[in-house]
Amino acid sequence: MQQGLMQRTPLMISSILSHAASAHGDTEIVSRLIDEPLWRYDYRSLAHRAAQAAALLQRLGIGSGDYVSSLAWNTHRHFELFFAVPGIGAVLHTANPRLSDEQIAYTINHAGSRVLLFDRSFAPLVARLRPKLNSVNHYIVLSARESLEVEGDPVPSYEALIAGKQPIEWPVFDENAGAVLCYTSGTTGDPKGVLYSHRSMVLQALAASLSGAFGLSAFDCVMPCSSLYHGTAWGLPFTAAVNGCKFVLPCDKMDGRSLQELIKNEGVTFSDGVPTIWTMYLDHLERTGEDAGSLDRLVIGGSAVPRAMAEKLQGKYGVSVRQLWGMTETIALGVVATPIPKLAARGQQATDEVIWTRQGRLQFGSELKIVDEDGKELPRDGQTPGRLLVARSVDRRALFPQREDRPRLRWLVRHRRHCHLGCRWVHAHH
C-alpha cells in the first residue's frame, strides 16, 4: 500500500496547549479558589506556568510512565496539571474525592502514584489517607501560601515550588502513551481504571468541537460544572483550549448564586453538568427574578434531564438544553441530543420533544448496537430492550492495568432492561 507523504506529527496534549498559547494567547482564564481572590490570566500564561510545573515534576524525578495524583477542584492550578503531567510523558490520575477514603486510597495505590497534589480544603482527607498510601513520596498543596502541615509534617505549596522554575520544552513521544487515568465506580467491586492516551484526548477535543456536539468556538466562554476529576470534566479543558474559548473555573462553588455571579460577570455562554446543579441554578433564578444573562446553552448528563427544567430554562430564560450520554470509558462523549435539518423541519415543539426526551445522536467515532442474549442485533425502535454495545475510536481498549490474560475489549457491553440503563461488566471479544 502506498503511504501518504504528509508529516507524521504525533497527536500530543502539549500541542493543544501550544496552539492555545500561540493562536489565542491573550484569551482569558478565570478561576475561583479556596480562600484566595479570583485568579485571572491567559492561555499564554497558562502555557508558561504549566511548563514550570513540568520542570518541578522532573526535578522530583517524575518522568515517562510515572503516575501523579491530584485531589483538587475545578481551579486553574488543577487545569495546569492537565498539561504539565502528561506533557512530560507521565500520567495524571485525577482522584475522586466523592469516593470513600478506602476507595480513594485504593485508586492512588493501584495507580502507583509518586506525587499527590491537593487543594487546601482536602488537607483533612489527605491526613487520613497518608498512612494508607504506599507509593506517594511527595505531597504538594495547591496553594499560594508557603506551606501546610499535615499530621505535623510541613507540605510545600505549589506556588512556592514553581516560582522561578525555567519552563521546559515539551518533548515529543508516542501519541498512544498514557496521559490521564480516571477510575469509574459505576461497576462491581473496586473502582476500575480507564487510561486515556494523548491521541484519544486530542481526538476527543476535536470531535467535541463539532457543531453536532458542543459546537464551541473562540466566541464562547466555557464554564465546566462537571468535575475535572470526573472523566476530565467531559473533556472540556482540552476542547476549550483547542478552540481558544475563555475558560471560567468555579472551584467547588456550584450553588445557584455562585454560578450566576460568574455567568453575569464573566459572560459565560456554555456550561455543562448534572441535572442537580442546574436545578439549583434554576431555583436561584426563580427566587431572585434574575435572567440567565449571557448563558446560551447547557449540556446536561449523568441522569435524564427533567422535562420541566428544560422547558423553563429554554422557554423562559432562552437557554438551549442539550442532553448528553456517555461513560468514563468513552471520555463522556457518546451521544449528544442536537437537532438536524430533518428534525428542525417539524417545528420547534417537535424538535424540543426529541431533544429533551432522547439521549442523543451518535458522535463521530462512536458505534452503538442493541443485541439480545445471543448477540443478535435488535431493531432500533425505541421499544425493544436488550444489551447496549458501545465502541468508540477514542475509547479505551482494556481496563487499567492491562493484563495479557484479560480479553481486550472491542465492544463495551452494558445491560439495558425496560429502557433504563443499568450496567454490568462483560468481556466482549474481537
CA distance 3 to 11: 19
Cα separation of 235 and 228, whole Å? 9
Q: Which of 66-75, 134-143, 386-395 has the lowest mean pLDDT?
A: 386-395
**What separation, in Å, do the N-terminal and C-terminal C-alpha atoms of the chain show?**
25
Q: 15-24, 162-171, 339-348: which has the minimum mean pLDDT?
A: 339-348
pLDDT surpassing 70 at residue 328: yes
Give the pLDDT of residue 361.
72
Identify which of 281, 321, 328, 327 has the alpha carbon closest to the alpha carbon of residue 305. 321
Non-local CB neighbours of 420 within 8 Å, separated by 6+ positions: none
**pLDDT on residue 381:** 79
Across the range 221-226, mean pLDDT stands at 98
pLDDT value of position 151: 76
* Contacts of 145 by beta carbon, 8 Å cutoff, 6+ apart: 120, 157, 159
**pLDDT score for 393:** 57
Write down the pLDDT at residue 137: 96
Q: Per-residue pLDDT tens for 122-159?
A: 999 999 999 999 999 999 999 987 778 787 789 999 99
pLDDT confidence of 400, banded at 50, 70, 90? low
Give per-residue pLDDT as tens, 102-117.
Answer: 999 999 999 999 999 9
pLDDT for 417 equals 34
pLDDT of residue 386: 85
Please give the angle made by the CA atoms of 177, 180 and 182, to the nearest 5 degrees.
130
Give the pLDDT score at 401. Answer: 66
Domains of the chain: 13-199 (3.40.50.12780), 207-365 (3.40.50.12780), 366-430 (no CATH)
pLDDT band at 382, cuts 50/70/90? confident
pLDDT single digits (tens) 232-267? 999 999 999 999 999 999 999 999 999 999 999 999
The whole-number pLDDT of residue 58 equals 98
pLDDT tens per residue across span 42-64: 999 999 999 999 999 999 999 99
pLDDT in tens, 18-47: 999 999 999 999 999 998 999 999 999 999
pLDDT tier, 185 (very low <50, low <70, confident <90, very high otherwise): confident
Q: Give the percent of the chain with pLDDT over 90.
A: 63
Residues pairing with 28 in the sheet: 42
